[in-house]
């Protein structure tokens, strides 16, 4: 059985260059016209440990990184020990024959064992053997019958014109590897059709950064934290050329407070972090809610609690996002399901933040944020809606009412620098003109009333915001026996599972998914839920944080749940298994 798709896995120790090898390979796949999806399993250490990356490439759209690798590259013995049994019939295990020994008892029947003296071969090109991984890569390229032109193009892309000798060495190394395959049986003859129409390949984090850039972000503050760091890296490298001030700051408290200061002056402002860092932003994001300052906060979740599993995925920060900041204030929470939505919803978040003058969170996770996926060309021509601004250039008649009571709860903003609109924004409760209630007026009957009105004004924004947030979406056959409920990155594996049980078991399963989580579309959700039969909630956390939100908002309790909290992303296969269990 030839699989018609690539599932390439390379493993070694941290420092072995596993992920850069896999990235090059992913790029080659995308350039060959395949749909690509990657997953990197790594640990919180710079050298050592066991890391591996899987690259799935297929002429058809893909929805997960797949399961069994049909080519496995073992750069060290541990990789062999851990993964050798997973390569199916027809696949190949490539390994460094000087370092690594397979256990024939564990390797599956029909999987080709391809031991190559990788380092020695590499040393024929450079004495330090630095191109070792490329030799293996070349072997894989040959095993999959990929076009060598893409190899060359990819290396050129990576090292550019600046290091032609490196490109040349790598191309030679890849050819060496390919030659070895030739000697040992040739390709695997999967017959994968390559269109050679290059596809865009990016991580969710990069898509977030691109979406922000398209939407006109002009200030980005971040403190490094896995798995959000690559947003900072991309922004720092590319933002300034587009006029974006990008700052690595002293901590996440500073990041959020700076973003508030920047947002206050009228630029589109943003932070990105993971749960631990977001925990430190909790006080300051409430400040933005109170001063009605727009900003976008990207929260890329990882395994918790506390430092937890820094390099593993989870969806465990929803309670944190819902509860961030003392008291009630209007927040919006968007949750992209895939790379495209990372771009789209981030761009949208900037509009919502400015229209409603309040922080909008974009919640993703390690699986989505760090994994490479092919996408259609993102459309940079996103609408830019800046919301209500006080008559620019004019002068306020009388005292400017920054927090004027309105039906929508939104009041026209003015920015420092605008003549005649001077006011002071305050985190204490205040009146329409910004003057404090808290300092000498609180408790006086008319100011009790004022407080009530101002608090209601702020909270009223949630109504408009809800309407502007993307509603829940029912995907799949309309009359399904089971409806999956999920959010965020579970989208891919969930869809894959649905297609799988449809194809294999003839089951009709659909899924109700939530690109926005707050303010919650309770009515719409209930309307949909009334029509469905049974439900299975799928979440990557222990307590079912989304299910709790759903129940708090609608009273609805999913019939079944599938909770995973071991740090690994869901696979289509395990969701399919759970579906079968449930409908049985």
Partner 1 sequence: MKLAFELETYKSEIKPTWCPGCGDYAVLNALQHALTELQLEPWNVLIVSGIGCSSNLPHFLSTYGFHAIHGRAVAVAEGAELANPDLHVIVTGGDGDGYGIGLGHFIHAMRRNLDLTYIVMNNEIYGLTTGQASPTSEMGMKTKSTPIVGVIENPIDPIALALSAGATYVARAFSGDVKQMSELVARGIEHHGFSLIDALSPCVTYNKINTYDFFRKRVYDLNKEGHDPGDLKAAFLKALEWPVMQRDRIPLGLFYRNDKLPTYEDLEPAYKKGNPVTQRLGVEDADEILNEFL
Ligand X SMILES: Cc1ncc(C[n+]2csc(CCOP(=O)(O)OP(=O)(O)O)c2C)c(N)n1
248 touching partner 1, by CB under 8 A = yes
Q: Which two tokens stand for residue 352?
A: 């919502």
Residues 6+ apart with CB under 8 A from 342: 204, 205, 207, 208, 211, 336, 362, 364, 368, 369
x/- map, 456-485, a copy of itself, by CB under 8 A: x-xx--------------------------
Question: Which one of 280-288, 514-522, 548-556, 572-580 is the stretch in contact with partner 1 (CB under 8 A)?
Answer: 280-288
Q: How many CA atoms lie within 13 A of 402 on its CB side?
A: 23
Residue 46: CB minimum distance to ligand X, A? 8
50 touching a copy of itself, by CB under 8 A = yes
1 touching ligand SF4, by CB under 6 A = no
Question: Which one of 126-134, 276-284, 501-509, 546-554 is the stretch in contact with partner 1 (CB under 8 A)?
Answer: 276-284
Question: Which one of 2-10, 104-112, 114-122, 215-223 is the stretch in contact with partner 1 (CB under 8 A)?
Answer: 215-223
Name the residue nearer to partner 1 (CB basis): 44 or 123: 44
Q: Report the site for ligand SF4 in 44-83 (rule: CB under 6 A).
A: 46-47
Compute φ and ψ for 333, nearest 5 degrees: -125, 115
DSSP single-letter state for residue 541: S
415 touching partner 1, by CB under 8 A = yes
Residue 438: CB minimum distance to ligand SF4, A? 15
329 touching partner 1, by CB under 8 A = no
437 touching a copy of itself, by CB under 8 A = yes
CB burial class (10 A; 0-12, 13-18, 19+) of residue 435? middle
DSSP track, 9-63: EEEEEETS-HHHHHHHHHHHHHHTT-EEEEEEE--S-SSEEEEEEEEEEESS--S
Partner whose binding site includes residue 498, from a copy of itself, ligand X, partner 1, none (CB under 5 to 8 Å by kind): none
Residue 229: CB minimum distance to a copy of itself, A? 16
Q: Report the site for a copy of itself in 234-293 (rule: CB under 8 A).
A: 253, 274-276, 278-280, 282-283, 286-287, 289-291
428 touching a copy of itself, by CB under 8 A = yes
Residue 47: CB minimum distance to ligand SF4, A? 6
Residues in the chain, total: 584
- Cβ-based neighbour number of residue 133 at 10 Å: 28
Q: Which two tokens stand for residue 110?
A: 């029909």
CB burial class (10 A; 0-12, 13-18, 19+) of residue 316? buried
Q: Which two tokens stand for residue 298?
A: 């990207």
357 touching a copy of itself, by CB under 8 A = no
Name the residue nearer to partner 1 (CB basis): 434 or 470: 434
The Cα–Cα gap between 208 and 534 comes to: 34
**In the bound complex, which residue of the shown chain has the CB atom lying closest to ligand SF4?**
46
Question: Which one of 88-96, 169-177, 206-214, 360-368 is the stretch in contact with partner 1 (CB under 8 A)?
Answer: 206-214
Which residues contact ligand X by CB under 6 A? Answer: 223-225, 252, 276-277, 280, 307
241 touching ligand SF4, by CB under 6 A = no
The Cα–Cα gap between 402 and 49 comes to: 55
The Cα–Cα gap between 489 and 496 comes to: 12
Q: Choose which of 89, 103, 182, 251 interacts with partner 1 (CB under 8 A).
A: 251
Partner whose binding site includes residue 402, from a copy of itself, ligand X, ligand SF4, none (CB under 5 to 8 Å by kind): none
Q: Choose which of 90, 198, 471, 476 interacts with partner 1 (CB under 8 A).
A: 198
Residue 412: CB minimum distance to ligand SF4, A? 34
Q: Choose which of 121, 426, 431, 517 interacts with a copy of itself (CB under 8 A).
A: 426
Beta strands in 46-184 (DSSP E): 48-58, 71-74, 92-96, 112-116
Q: Which two tokens stand for residue 37?
A: 């999806």
152 touching partner 1, by CB under 8 A = no
Name the residue nearer to ligand X (CB basis): 57 or 277: 277
150 touching a copy of itself, by CB under 8 A = no
Q: Which two tokens stand for residue 371?
A: 């994994």
The Cα–Cα gap between 580 and 584 comes to: 6
Nearest to 561 by CA among 518, 573, 571, 542: 542
Q: Which residues bind ligand SF4 (CB under 6 A)?
A: 46-47
């Amino acid at each position: 059985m030839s699989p018609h798709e690539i599932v390439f896995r390379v493993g070694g120790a941290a420092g072995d260059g596993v992920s850069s090898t896999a990235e090059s390979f992913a790029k080659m796949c995308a350039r060959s016209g395949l749909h690509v999806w990657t997953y990197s399993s790594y640990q919180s250490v710079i050298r050592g440990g066991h890391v591996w990356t899987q690259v799935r490439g297929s002429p058809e759209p893909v929805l997960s990184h797949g399961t069994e690798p049909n080519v496995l590259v073992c750069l060290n013995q541990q990789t062999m020990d851990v993964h050798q049994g997973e390569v199916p019939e027809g696949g190949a295990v490539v390994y460094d024959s000087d370092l690594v020994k397979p256990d024939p008892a564990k390797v599956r029947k029909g999987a080709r064992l391809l031991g190559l003296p990788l380092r020695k071969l590499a040393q024929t090109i450079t004495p330090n053997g630095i191109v070792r991984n490329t030799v293996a890569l070349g072997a894989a390229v040959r095993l999959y019958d990929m076009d060598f032109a893409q190899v060359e193009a990819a290396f050129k892309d990576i090292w550019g014109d600046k290091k032609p000798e490196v490109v040349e060495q790598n191309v030679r190394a890849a050819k060496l590897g390919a030659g070895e395959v030739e000697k040992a049986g040739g390709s695997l003859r999967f017959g994968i059709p390559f269109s050679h129409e290059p596809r865009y390949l990016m991580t969710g984090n990069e898509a977030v950064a691109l979406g922000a850039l398209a939407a006109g972000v002009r200030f980005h503050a971040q403190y490094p934290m896995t798995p959000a760091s690559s947003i900072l890296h991309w922004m720092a490298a590319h933002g300034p050329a587009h006029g974006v001030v990008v700052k690595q700051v002293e901590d996440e408290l500073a990041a959020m407070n700076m973003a508030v200061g920047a947002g206050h002056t009228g630029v589109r402002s943003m932070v990105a972090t993971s749960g631990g860092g977001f925990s430190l932003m909790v006080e300051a994001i409430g400040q933005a809610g109170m001063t009605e300052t727009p900003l976008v906060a990207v929260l890329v979740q990882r395994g918790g609690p506390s430092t937890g599993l820094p390099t593993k995925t989870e969806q465990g920060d929803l309670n944190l996002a819902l509860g961030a900041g003392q008291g009630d204030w209007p927040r919006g929470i968007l949750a992209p399901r895939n790379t495209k939505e990372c771009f789209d919803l981030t761009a949208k978040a900037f509009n919502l933040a400015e229209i409603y003058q309040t922080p909008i969170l974009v919640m993703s996770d390690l699986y989505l944020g760090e994994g490479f996926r092919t996408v259609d060309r993102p459309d940079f021509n996103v609408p830019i809606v800046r919301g209500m601004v006080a008559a620019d250039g004019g002068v306020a008649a009388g005292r400017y009412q920054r927090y004027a009571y309105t039906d929508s709860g939104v009041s026209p903003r003015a920015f420092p620098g605008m003549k005649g609109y001077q006011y002071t924004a305050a985190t204490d409760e205040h009146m329409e003109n910004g003057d404090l209630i808290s300092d000498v007026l609180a408790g006086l009957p008319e100011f009790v009333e004022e407080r009530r009105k101002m608090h209601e004004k702020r909270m009223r924004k949630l109504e408009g915001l809800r309407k502007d947030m993307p509603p829940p979406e029912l995907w799949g056959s309309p009359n399904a026996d089971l409806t999956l409920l999920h959010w965020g990155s579970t989208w891919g594996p969930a869809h894959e599972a649905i297609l799988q049980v449809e194809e294999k078991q003839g089951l009709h399963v659909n899924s109700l998914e939530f690109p926005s989580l707050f303010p919650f579309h309770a009515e719409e959700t209930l309307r949909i839920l009334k029509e469905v039969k049974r439900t299975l909630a799928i979440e990557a956390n222990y307590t079912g944080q989304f299910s709790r939100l759903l129940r708090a908002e609608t009273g609805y309790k999913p019939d079944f749940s599938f909770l995973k909290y071991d740090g690994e992303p869901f696979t289509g296969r395990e969701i399919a298994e759970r579906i079968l269990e449930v409908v049985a």
